[in-house]
Structures are given as structure tokens and as C-alpha cells.
Amino acid sequence: MRHFPAFLDLRGRTVLLLGQGEALEAKAALVRAAGAELREAARFAPELLEGCAAAFAAGAPEEELRALAEAARGRGLPVNVVDRPELCSFIVPAIVDRDPVTVGISTSGAAPVLARLIRQKIEAVLPPGLASLAALAGRCKDAVRRALPETGARRRFLERVLSGPVADLALSGREAEAEAALHRALAEAEATPPGFVHLVGAGPGAPDLLTLRALRILGEADVIVHDRLVPEAVLDLARRDARRIFVGKQRANHCVPQEGINDLLVQLAREGKRVVRLKGGDPFVFGRGGEEAEALAAAGVAHAVVPGITAALACAAAAGIPLTHRDCARALVLATGHTRNGEVGLDFAALARPGHTLAVYMGVHTLARVRDGLLDAGLPATTPAALIENGARPDQRVLAGTLAEVAAQAPGWTRGGPALLLVGEAVARRTAAPDLATAA
């Protein structure tokens, strides 16, 4: 973020305007609309900055512009010289004005025309009556805070009324009716409503592969309970004030045991929180979502599952490997190489059958045992295979070859990231360009 967004309160404060021309007149109109008192000058003198809250300049001689910028910076005053970013301590965004709602769009000076185009799109989406709705929320803010002192309950109430019938009345100009409806809803609201848990799949870690439902629910969560495989880029899509609880898991090293996670989800829901249990991939594909759903159901906690793109789909797509193909693979089998009590525990006779693609999750550390089991069950050592590390992420790597080759090379090739093994004739149908990291 090149510039920190902020909104200045200029009501009754003095703003210096140095220079002349249309660009400066446009800035004058903006600050005048914000309630500022204007001090205009054609030539710069340091005393012009006395008592000022900010300064704008355009259409003045170069030495005047530089003198203003230097003097304003020395006093710690915000200064904007139109179309001269090197002389500015702040920039003016493209503005959507629905007072008291104000939207600013900035490209950090890189593409002002793009900012204006974005503003036009936002203008078309935001109804003119939005100002009435915002004013209603402001008038009722203290009453809502008194009735609902708990932050999560208050936020959920406001989300409901500001997007339902109350909002419809305010947006249509029926402000008195809208305010009456809001107070009726407030009288019926519970201070501590029952909580809810969403088991959400974060997919392979690329933020743009989240489902729209997952994105919406992340924005509504009070608490996010997340695993090691969920990257910061996904967590950053949540509300900024949402509490984050890390319960990361690695092979043979769970910082919070599964039973502890189950108890935590139940406890948070009983406190009235909206909880997101955020998992890499899909909650119900080797993500222990089934165990957590059972625990929530047993405790009487309302919950729902939001599916995510599981590793087999994401890794195969990113690597250009079809999971099924009419000529060689008419089935897809998902298995885990993660051991329980030291045993792989897979039915290798079933997995070694021809005509399907085998996807093995969490199988790097047991890859030799998986290979031996498949070979002993009759699968040829020359069967095509690929190990995909950090699939669908910018640092994705692919190790491709035969099953025997991949199993032999994997220990020295892997860098410790999450990896998926694909085995089957369809793997040889890979169409993506060779990954540069493969040869590394």
C-alpha cells in the first residue's frame, strides 16, 4: 500500500490555495464542500501557512511550488501539488460522495484515469439514498450500543437491518418509517444470540480460488480458527477486527489436539460468536471436518459446511494434468498417505487397479511405502506419476516421471511444502508447459 488512506476533518479550518487555473479551482470546490475556509494566494510566503490545516497548489511558478512543498513538510502540514507527486505529502483520490458516506479511490498516482473509471462503476452501484441510510445508522448508534453492548451481537444486528426492510425504507426516502422499524427490530433483538460455526474450505491457498460464499462468510466472522496451510493472503480477506486463533497442524506435531479444537469451536459458539473454522482445501476431504461437524452436532451447535477446492483438483489443474480421460482414466480415487499409529493402512490391491487416477494426500513422508505397496499389488513401476508441491500457488513445483523415478527423487527434491502425489496413465497427458522449478 503506497499511500495510507485517511479522511481529513476540514470544517471551519483554513486551507491554503496557491496558484491559479482549473486544476486548483477543482481542488477549491472539494475543500469548500468539506467546510474549509480558503486562503488564496498567487505568490508564496511562509507566513501564509500560519493556522492552515493543509495546502494545495497548481499553476504557480516552479520555485513557488517547491518553496511551498518544502515549507509545508517542515511544519508537518499536508501538502498537495497537482500532478507533481514528488512534491506531495498526500494525494487526492477520486471521490464518490454520498455524505456522510464517502468513498475514495486511489491508484497512488499511477493511473488517475483508471481511478475515475472505477469511481464511475461505484457511482452506478451505490444508490443516491445511501446518505439517508447512513444518517439513520448515525442517529441510532447510541441506542443500538446501549441495547447490544456485545460487539458481535451489535454488528450482526446492524448487518441485518442495514440490508433488509429497514434499509429499503431509508433508501426510498421513507426515513421516519425506517427509523421506527429499526427501533422495533432493536426491541426484539437478543443481547447474546446463539453462535454459529462455519467449516470453510480455503482451497489451495490462492485467494482468488476461494468461493464467493467463503469470502462473504469470512467478512462476517467474529473469530477465525485456522490451520497452518491457510496463508496470510486468505486471512487478510476477513474483517480486520476478527479474532484469529491459530491451531496449526504439521505431521506428528499438532499445536492444538483435535479434541481441543472441537471443544474450542463449541465454546466460542456458546459465547454467541460467529465462528469460521478455516481449513486448507475442502473441510470434508482429509480435513477432519467430519469429526468437527460430529462434535458440533453432539453439542447442539448450529453449523454449516462451505466446500473448498480440494488439493487433487487444484494441483492437477495448475499442473495441466487431467484427472480423468476417456482413453485411460474413468475414475478418480482419493487416498491419504498420512499414517495412523505408524501404519499406512491403504488397500493397495484396490488402488493398483488399472483405469483410474490415484491422488495421494500428505504422502511425501510415506512415499516409499506407498510405492512399494502399489508395486507389490501389481502396478507397473513405469506408471506415470507426478508430485506437486505448493500446488496452485506462485511457488508451485512439479516432479514428473514414472512412479519409481518420482519416489526415488522425491526425498532430495522436496522443500517441505504441502505436496500431492498423482499416479496413473492420465498423468502422462499433461499439457502444461514444463515447470522451470522441475529442473531445479
pLDDT in tens, 80-117: 999 998 999 999 999 998 888 999 999 988 888 999 99
Catalytically annotated residue among 121, 141, 222, 249: 249
CATH architecture of 14-92: 3-Layer(aba) Sandwich (3.40)
> What values do phi and psi take at 10, rounded to 5?
-105, 10
Catalytically annotated residue among 27, 222, 227, 435: 227
Render 401-425 in DSSP notation, one character per residue.
EEHHHHHHHHHHH--SS-EEEEESG
Return the CATH fold of 312-439: 3.30.950
Active site residue 249: yes
Beta strands in 164-239 (DSSP E): 196-201, 223-226
The reported pLDDT for the residue numbered 229 is 87
Domain 196-309: top CATH class: alpha beta
pLDDT tens readout for residues 377-406: 999 999 999 999 999 998 999 999 999 999
Confidence of residue 191 (pLDDT cuts 50, 70, 90): low
**pLDDT for 372 beyond 90:** yes
What is the rounded CA–CA span in Å between residue 90 and residue 53? Answer: 13
Residue in 8, 49, 41 with CA at minimum distance from that of residue 24: 41
What is the rounded CA–CA span in Å between residue 407 and residue 421? Answer: 10
pTM to 2 decimals? 0.67
Active site residue 279: no
